[in-house]
Amino acid sequence: MLVKNQVYEAVVTDYTAEGQGVAHVEGCAVFLPNAIAGERVRLRIEKAQKTWASGKIVEILEKSPHRCNRACPVAKLCGGCDFWHMDYEEETRLKAERVKTCLNRLGGEALTEVPILAAPDCRGYRNKAQYPVAAKKGRAYAGFFRAGTHDVVENQRCLILPEETDTVKDAVMDYVNQFRVSVYDEATHKGLLRHIYVRRGAVSGQILVCLVCNGEKLPKVDALLARLKRIPGFTTLVLSVNTKKGNAVLGDEFITLYGPGYIEDTLCGLNFRLSPRSFYQVNHHQAQRLYETAIEQAGITKNDTVLDLYCGVGTITLAMASAAGKVIGVEVIPQAVEDARDNARRNGIDNAEFFCGDAGQAALELERNGVRPDVVVVDPPRKGLNADTIEALSRMAPRRIVYVSCDPATLARDVALLKQRGYTLQSATAADLFPRCSHVETVVLLSKGEIDSKKVRVEFSLEDMDMSDFQDKATYTQIKDYVLEHSGLKVSNLYISQIKRKCGLEVGKNYNLPKAEDSRQPQCPSEKENAIREAMKYFGMI
Ligand code: SAH
């Protein structure tokens, strides 16, 4: 085991999902923030476990040619961005590599390369900001949380935001400090202002300001409005009431203090209405490219019915409407569904229908009512598809499934599940919607029995032939890869089988209990047990 505070020398070989460097020392994976693959470093261990550790770079002995000076002065402290220490070439390389590795390891593919739609501009692209506010010595300030904490790191000028957005933040803070508006304190659950939320239409330039408050009333609203009205594009001011403890930024109640309570923007040639709660991709240019790729892959014809699950305000649904016979969107947030219906009307689209509900349950309901879409688009949140959605897809058997994903690991898991139901992965494209940050979007096309010129690739290992694997949703290899990726631990088939048995799951014949009573098997240590349980939860097995 590595020793805390001791300094070791190692080469950075890889990255974690969060963009930290990974080096191996004495067989142990060490996670290093701000490290770049290929660099030889001296590192100090900060936390040591049996098979993994985290540390800090003490000295870079061999610098990567991709290392660069951080353009953002608070990048090292602020938890908002991950990659200001490297050039954009390395950032896009590692993102494409991550998508490929996930699809190969967790999705059972054998891709040699995944193309990535790189962004033309890494700065000023984010059309939404959520600044937490804090106060020290009687002065209130706004910024972003330090990574892994709720300490606010003050940020004067955030480089991935347009300048107008920071101007709004400054105007609000000026008002807060002048009128001594109290600032929320998590520890005491007292104080009024929690977050400044700003959304700006990339094309329209319209600005929505939403102040998240631990209460229903703001003092001196006129003075605030006087400041905001001086900012070009300012359209509406909304108060979001959030009196709950916890991490959710927005509350459930919204009070419009000025303007219509929403803004408009243009995307894929259509006009969209956007409320504070509605999901809208933060990078307009790259979202448009992602959607164009999704539309192309969907291969829609005029007679097709398209089902768009997790449709938000109907961006993809409506962008596909003109090519299709009929489009149906499903979304769980009522306000977003209202926006989606309004968006259909304002664009004169009359072949679109929207349902509010859980994607899986709604899809099963549609299937029971005889709806058989030709193409299904899914764009779920990070946790990916739930069991109902997979089941509904399987029963509806669309010709094509276009899967837009913000988490390559859950995407790969779902690809594996859909392959078990007769689908084949036809293409995968990564898209960088979050330059300088570790998130990456992916769009994949899966199809069923349509592309006969291509050979269907069947790959399996003897281990995967154990049918209990399929009944239990994830293979031993998938669990191992997940555990390695998320906790840096290596776990054996034996350990997985022990935990599966503990959870009352079927275990294949190779992993049965030892025959002799006195035979000794190593027992899964608790740290690995927790990691395996996490993986099994993730794969919906427990
Ligand atoms: N396709 C849209 C939205 C994608 S974000 C776009 O690109 O703009 C994912 C959306 O799924 C969000 O709008 C979220 O509110 C919604 N969502 C989350 N869980 C859901 C569920 N269980 N059922 C249906 N929609 C869900």
- pLDDT tens digits along 105-141: 999 999 999 999 999 999 999 999 999 999 999 999 9
Q: What is the pTM of this model?
A: 0.82
- Mean pLDDT, residues 520-529 taken together: 84
**Residue 272 beta carbon below 6 angstroms from any ligand 1 atom:** no
Rg (CA), the chain: 25
**Residue 268 beta carbon below 6 angstroms from any ligand 1 atom:** no
């996490």: which residue's tokens? Answer: 534
Whether the pLDDT of residue 533 is over 50: the answer is yes
**Residue 310 beta carbon below 6 angstroms from any ligand 1 atom:** yes
Residue 148: pLDDT band with limits 50, 70, 90: confident
Which ligand 1 atom is at minimum distance from the Cα of 287?
A: 7
**Paired residues of 446 in beta bridges:** 401, 425
Whether the pLDDT of residue 468 is over 50: the answer is no
Residue 526: pLDDT band with limits 50, 70, 90: confident
**Residue 90 beta carbon below 6 angstroms from any ligand 1 atom:** no
Tell me the C-alpha distance between 304 and 515, whole Å: 58
Percent of the residues in the chain that have a pLDDT greater than 70, as a whole number = 93
Q: What is the pLDDT of residue 502?
A: 84
**What is each CA distance from 315 to 202, 242, 280, 502, 532, in whole angstroms?**
15, 28, 8, 45, 38
| Residue of 270, 289, 332, 383 to test ligand 1 pocket, by largest number of atoms within 8 Å of CB | 332
Of 123-127, 133-137, 160-164, 519-523, the least confident: 519-523
- Mean pLDDT, residues 351-355 taken together: 98
Whether the pLDDT of residue 433 is over 90: the answer is yes
CA of 433 to the centre of ligand 1 (A): 17
| Residue of 268, 295, 311 to test ligand 1 pocket, by largest number of atoms within 8 Å of CB | 311
Q: What is the pLDDT of residue 512?
A: 44
Considering all CA atoms of the chain, what is the largest pairwise distance in Å, rounded to the nearest integer? 82
Q: How many helices (H) and strands (E) does the chain have?
A: 14, 22
Residue 318: pLDDT band with limits 50, 70, 90: very high
Are 434 and 440 within 8 A, CB to CB?
A: yes
Classify residue 417 by burial, with Cβ atoms within 10 Å: 0-12, 13-18, 19+.
buried
Which ligand 1 atom is at minimum distance from the Cα of 317?
A: 1
Residue 152: pLDDT band with limits 50, 70, 90: very high
Residues 6+ away with beta carbon under 8 Å from 103: 109, 111, 114, 408, 411, 412, 415, 425, 428, 444
**Residue 283 beta carbon below 6 angstroms from any ligand 1 atom:** no
Whether the pLDDT of residue 274 is over 80: the answer is yes
Q: What is the pLDDT of residue 449?
A: 67
DSSP, collapsed to helix, strand or coil, labels residue 194 as strand
**Residue 441 beta carbon below 6 angstroms from any ligand 1 atom:** no
Which 8-state DSSP code applies to residue 456?
P
State pLDDT tens for residues 199-253.
999 999 999 999 999 999 999 999 999 999 999 999 999 999 999 998 899 999 9
- Mean pLDDT, residues 438-461 taken together: 67
| Residue of 308, 310, 328, 388 to test ligand 1 pocket, by largest number of atoms within 8 Å of CB | 310
Please report the sign of the dihedral spanned by the C-alpha atoms of residue 383, residue 103, residue 540, residue 290.
positive
Q: What is the pLDDT of residue 537?
A: 80
Q: What is the pLDDT of residue 520?
A: 66
Whether the pLDDT of residue 510 is over 70: the answer is no
**Residue 363 beta carbon below 6 angstroms from any ligand 1 atom:** no
**Residue 315 beta carbon below 6 angstroms from any ligand 1 atom:** yes
Of 166-175, 233-242, 244-253, 529-538, the least confident: 529-538
State pLDDT tens for residues 21-43.
999 999 999 999 999 999 999 99
- Residue with the smallest CA separation from ligand 1 atom 10 is 310
Among 210, 406, 437, 524, the one annotated catalytic: 406
Tell me the C-alpha distance between 412 and 415, whole Å: 5
Q: What is the pLDDT of residue 315?
A: 97
Residue 335: pLDDT band with limits 50, 70, 90: confident
Active site residue 158: no
State pLDDT tens for residues 90-102.
999 999 999 999 9
Residue 460: pLDDT band with limits 50, 70, 90: very low
Tell me the C-alpha distance between 122 and 71, whole Å: 11
Whether the pLDDT of residue 338 is over 50: the answer is yes
Residue 473: pLDDT band with limits 50, 70, 90: low
- Mean pLDDT, residues 369-380 taken together: 97
**Residue 364 beta carbon below 6 angstroms from any ligand 1 atom:** no
Of 23-27, 359-363, 365-369, 497-501, the least confident: 497-501
CA of 392 to the centre of ligand 1 (A): 17
CA of 512 to the centre of ligand 1 (A): 42
CA of 398 to the centre of ligand 1 (A): 20
| Residue of 288, 331, 443 to test ligand 1 pocket, by largest number of atoms within 8 Å of CB | 331
Instruction: Domains for the chain: give ranges and CATH numbers.
Output: 7-67 (2.40.50.140), 128-267 (2.40.50.1070), 283-471 (3.40.50.150), 476-538 (no CATH)
